[in-house]
Amino acid sequence: MTQLTRQWSAEKLLLVVSVVAIVAGVAVGTSVGYAVHYSAPTTRAFYLFNSSLPFDEHTWGIPHDTFAPDRITVNKGDKVVIYYRNIEDTTEPHTFSMDTPYTFDAVVHAGQNETFPVATSVKGASDVVVQVNQTATITFTANWAGVFRYYCAYHQPTMTGYLAVLG
């Protein structure tokens, strides 16, 4: 009788210890994962420029224009601020355009930085044109997770970048 009780107790004890260990492991693992991966929505600023690669567009049949950078990564919920500068040495405008679902607000300044007078201002736009030596402040909230194209409408397909929103 005593032997049987002790045997049951040992098994129960083992079971309880196992369950406690598993629950504790899951709790610690989850909280560490949460602490490492989670970050509250924040404002992330990027400086975006037009760039051109040294090849003859007519020989290759594609524009030599690209974006620098051509990848922007944020977390879902972040407020994104892009300072887009047209640094062309020729008289060539570029656009910043996005596909649905993303739209943005943009303030275009008639000079190289935000202290110059406002040339144009748009809200909920999918397209803004920036002339040579102008700068645009583009803002939106990254409400949708996924990978989304941003591009210059004048220089396709090469002047294309991707916004990666981690959900």
Which residues of the chain form contacts with Cu ion (CB under 5 A)? 65, 94, 152, 154-155, 159
Q: Which residue is nearest to Cu ion (CB)?
A: 152
Distance CA 138, CA 96 (A): 9
Least distance from Cu ion to the Cβ atom of residue 65, Å: 5
Q: How far is the CB of 53 from Cu ion (least distance, A)?
A: 13
Structural element, H or E, at residue 161: strand 160-166
Pick the closer one to Cu ion by CB: 44 or 46.
Answer: 46
Q: How far apart are CB 50 and Cu ion at their closest, in Å?
A: 6
Give whichever of 63 and 77 is closer to Cu ion, judged by the CB atom.
63
Q: In terms of CB distance, is 78 or 88 closer to Cu ion? A: 88
Report the residue number, 92 or 105, with the smaller CB distance to Cu ion. Answer: 92
CB of residue 114 vs Cu ion: minimum separation in angstroms?
Answer: 21
SS3 of residue 114 by DSSP: coil
**Residues 86, 93 contacting (CB under 8 angstroms):** yes
Cβ pair 51, 65 in contact under 8 A: yes
Alpha helices by DSSP H, listed for the chain, are 2-37, 57-60
| Most distant pair of Cα atoms in the chain: their distance | 97
